[in-house]
Structure 1
Amino acid sequence: MRQLECHEEEIHLCGKIQFFGFLCIFDEGGCIAASENLPSVLEIPMKEILGRSIDQLLPLLSSEQAWNLKEIERQITGEIFTRFVERIRIKGVDYYLSIYRYDEKTYVEVEICSENQLKATRLFYYAKYLEEQHGNAWQSLTVLIRQIIGFDRVMVYRFEEDNSGQVIAESLAEGMTSLMGYRYPEFDIPAQARALYVKFLARHVADIDAPTIAIKGLGPGEIDLTRCSLRALSPVHLQYLKNAGARASASFSIVIEGKLWGLVACQNGLPLNVDLAQRHLCAFLTQYAINYYLSEHQKENLVAQTIMGVMERDLKSELLVNSDIGIVLERFAPQILEIVGADGLMIKHDGGSKTWGEVPADLQLRQIHQFIEKQDESDLFFTSNFVYEGTDLEQSAIFPGILRINILPSNKWHIYLFRKEHVYEDVWAGKPEKIYHYDPEREVEFPSPRTSFEAWRQKMKGKSIKWKKAELSFMEKVAQITQQAIAQRGGEIAQLNKELVRSNNALDTFGYTLTHDLKNPLSSIKLAAQMMLMKDDLPKEMLRKMALNIMDATGLITEMMDKVYQLTQSNYVAFKTELIDPRNKILNILESCKQQFDSAKLDFVLGETLPILGERTLLYQLFLNLIGNAIKYSSKKEQPRVEVYSEKHGHSVYYYIKDNGIGMDIQDNCNIFDIFKRLPNSQGFEGSGIGLSIVKRIADRLDAKITVESQLDIGTTFCVKFKV
C-alpha cells in the first residue's frame, strides 16, 4: 500500500477555476483552452471559441472597448508591466480583464469586480499609517488589509527555521478568539504550495463551497495555472479551511531575499470575494511593510555591528601592544560574554582554563570536549540542543547551548560559550500530527486535513536560545583578529624600525622646509619695513596695504610653526581639509616673488582657478614652491612668462604651472623631487634643492599626483592633479 504525501499533489495543474470568472488560453495558433462557462458570456459554442485568435475574441467580450493589441503586447512583454489590466462591462456587470504571458502561452482572465471601488487617494494614507505605527509594521499591515477586504481575521504568519509557522500579528473582528502566538506545523502548507507562493504573491478563494469550473480544450496536466488568479484550490486545502471555520480565504506572500519569509493569511466566516484591485493594493502594502521591516532590521544590525566593531578594534589594538594573549583575552572575556548574550564563557588551553559566568559542571565539560573532538575538524562548533549522557542532570544546570571557537588551534587555545536550557510553552493551533485516510479504489493512503484547531500546548525543554549568525561571525572575527596579531608580531620589530627611520626623516625634512618656506613671508615683512623706513610720506592706503601684507605673512609663519610643533609631538599631523579657491593666495605669491627675484618685466597669466580640496597652509606651500620656481628660473629671460590655470576632467581638477625658463633635462626627472637635488643648469640661481622635495611630500599628503614636462632652455610645465 502506497502512502501519498501532500507535496506530491500538482496543485498548479488542477484544470479548474473558481466560479466568479472566465479564462481562455492562447498559443500562436489561437485559443487552445477556455473555461466551460465562457460560451454563456460570448453566446457562441465552445467549438467556435477554440481556435480563434485573441484579437477576434476580445471584441466579443467587450465591444465598447477599443483594443490596442500592440499596446497590450508591449505591456505583457515589458520589464515594468507584465500584466495588462482593464476594467470592462459585460451584460451590465463590471469585470476586470487581465492578460499576461506565461509558459509560452497568453492567458486572458476575466473576474468580477467588487461593488466597493477603491480610491487611489487612500494609498498615501495607508503608507503613512504603516510608517507612523512605530515598532510593528506587521500589526499595522493586518489592520489595513482587514479594512480593505473586510475579512473577519487577518494575521501575519512567519515561518521558522524548521518550516513550521507562528502568528506574530493579528487583526480580527469583535468576539473572535485570538490566535496570536499560535504555531502551525510545516505540513499545513506543503512544499509545492510554498513554491507557488514565491512565484505568485496573491491567492484567494471566494467561497469554499461554490462549484468550480472546468477548462476545456486541453487536459488538466497540459494547463499550468501557476500565475492564474482564478485557479481553483485543491480539495484538501478547501477542507482544511472548512475545518478552520472559514468560507473565504486570501493570502499575500512575504518574500524576503527570494525566500518565503511568511504569509499574510486572511479568513472570513462567510463567502466574500477579494477582487483584483483589492489584491493588488494588499500586495503593494505587503511589499511596503517588508521594506519598512527590512529598514528597521538593518538599523538594529548596524547598532549591533557597531558595538561588536568597537570591541574588535580595541581587541586588535591591545593584542598588537601586549604579547601575552592570555591576559588580553581574559581582559575582554566579560565583553565577549555580554555581546554574544551567553550565560557562561571559558578560555581553555594546555596550561589550564578560566571561566566567567555560569558554566557546566566538570563532568559535563568533559563530555562536551570529547564530543567535539570526535567531530570533523572545524574551527567553529555550535549547537543549541546538546544532549548530555550519564550525568545527574537534576542536580546541575543544563547547558544545551554550546559554542567553541579555535583561537590558536596549534596551541589548543579555545573559547567556549554556554547557554542554559530555555524552557517555554508552545501553543499549537491543533495538535501537530498528520492524519491519513485509506482510499480502497487506488489502494493508497492520503493525508487528511486537521479537524481541530483548538489550542494544544507543548512544553519545550532541552534546547537553548539559538546562536545568531551575527554572533557566530563575531566569534570568528575574534579568532581571526587574534591569529592575525600573532602573525604580525613576527615582523613588528622591523616595522617599528622603519617607522622610526621615517619619523626621523620627516623631522629632518620639516627642519629644511621651515627654513626654506619661511623665506617668502619673511621677505614680504622685510620689504614692507624697508619701504616704511625709507619713505616718511607714504600714503595712508599704501601703509594699509603694507600692514595687511605683514599680517598675512605673520599668519602664514604662525601656521607653519604650529604644523612643525605638532609634528614634533606625534610625527603625524591631522590636517583639516576644506574646499579652497587658491586665487588670492596665488596673487599674493606672485607679488612677493616678483620682488624677491627682481622680475618686474614678468608677463604673468592667471587663468581660471577652480576650487580644490586641501589644507590652507599646505596648499600655500605647494603653490609657493611651484610658482616661486617658475618665476625664479624664468627671471633672467628677456621676456619672462609664467602661466597658471586649471581644468576639470571627470572627478579631478588639474592645475598647470607653466614657465619659459631654463627648463630641465627630462631624462633626469626621476631625481628632481629628491631632497637637496639641484640640476646642473641651475647654477647662478639661489636655492638649496629642497623646494621640489617639499612639493612632492605635500602632494602625497593631499593625495594629489604631480607630473612634469620640460625641455632645456624652452621651459617647464608642472601639473598637479587634485581629487574633488
Structure 2
Amino acid sequence: MSTFDHPVSFLPGFGEGLELLAGSTTEVLAANHLLDSMIEHIPTAVYMKDAAQLRYVRINRAAEALFGMSREQMIGKSAHEVFEKDEADVFVAQDRQVLARGIVEDIPEQRYSSRSKGLRLLHVRKVPVFGEGGEPTHILGISEDVTQQKEMEKEILSLNSVLKAHVEDLEASNKSLESFTSAATHDLRSPLSVIGGYAGLLEQNYASRLDEKGQRYVSVIRRSINSMAKLIDDLLAFSKLGQREVSKASVDMHGLARRVIEEMLQLHPEGKKPDIQLGSLPPAQADAALLHQVWVNLLSNAVKYSSRAVSPLIEVSGRMEGTEAIYSVRDNGAGFSMDHYDKLFEMFQRLHTDEEFEGTGVGLPIVHRVVTRHGGRVWAEGKVGQGAAFHFALPV
C-alpha cells in the first residue's frame, strides 16, 4: 500500500462508500444485462450505428437472421462494406436525413435483398439517439419483416375484388329475376281472370245442365284459380322485397304484433277461434312495414296449422339476449318433422299437402328474406302432431 493510500483507507465512512459504490455498480450491471437480454431476444431486427461514421456498433440475433450475416461480419463496418451499393446508398441517405432532422424516420415499406431469405419487404424505423450535449451520437434502427403480411393483404384485396364481382353479378341476377317475376306474375293474371270468368259463366248459365261430376269439376277450377291467385300475390310480394330499401326506425313490436292479431281474428270465420296469448315484446330498430309481413306470415301459419287442434293455442313471446332481440311464435298444431328442416325456408317447399293445409310455400321464405335483410336470423323447431315454434332475432 502506498503512503497516499494508507491514510485514505482509514478515513471515516470510506468502507461504507465502497460498499455503496459496489452496490450501485452491481445494480447498473444487472440493469444493463437485462436490457442487453431484451434487445438480443426481441424477434424484430434491432441494430445501432455511430453517428460519426455510420458504422454498425451493435446488432441483435434477429438482425443477423434478417441480413444473413453474423455480427462479427457487420460490427465496425459501414453499409457500403456489407450491402450492395444501391441498397447501401439508400440506407446511408436515410441515416443522414435522420441525423439532419433529428426526428424518427418511418419507412412503411422498403425492399431488401436478404442473403438468406431473398427479396423481403421491411417496415423500417430509424431513431436518432442524443448525447448529453444534445447532439445525435447514434442511430437506432428497427426493421420488421412484413413480407408475409403484405402478401396476405394483396391476397385479401384480390379475394375482395373477386367477391365484389360475384356480389355484383348476383345483384344483377337478382334484379333480372325480380323483374322477370314481376312481369310474369302480371302476365299470369290476365289468363287467370279469363279462366275465372268463364268458370263463373259456366256456373251461372249452365248449372242446371251440369251433373254432380261437372259441378265438381267447376269447383276444382275455382279452387285452383284461388290458389294460383294467392301464389301470384305471394310471388309479387317476394319480388318486391328485393327492390325495397330497408328503412330502420324504432318499432313498437308489441303494438305491431297486437294489431296483426286483431286483424287476423276479425277475418277469422265464426266458430272455433284460436286462443292467441301475446306476451311482452322488446322494441326493435327495423322497417315496420317489412316486419308487418313477418308477423302476418308467422301468425297466419300458426293459426292455419293449429286449426285442427282440439283447443288451438298460439303463444307470442319475446326477450333480450345479448345483442339481439328474440321473438317467438309457438302453436300446438300439426307441427313438422325436423328431418325436413332444410326445406323449411326454401321457395315453394311445403311440408304438408294441399289436402291437409292449403298454401303456396312462399310465406316462410318471405320471413327469412325480411329478417336476414335486417341482419337477423330465423330458426324453428317442431314435432309432428305436437306443434311448432318459429323464432327470429334482430340486432339491437
> What is the TM-score normalised by the length of structure 2?
0.48
Which structure's residues are more often strand, by fraction?
1
> What is the TM-score normalised by the length of structure 1?
0.29
Which structure's residues are more often helix, by fraction?
2
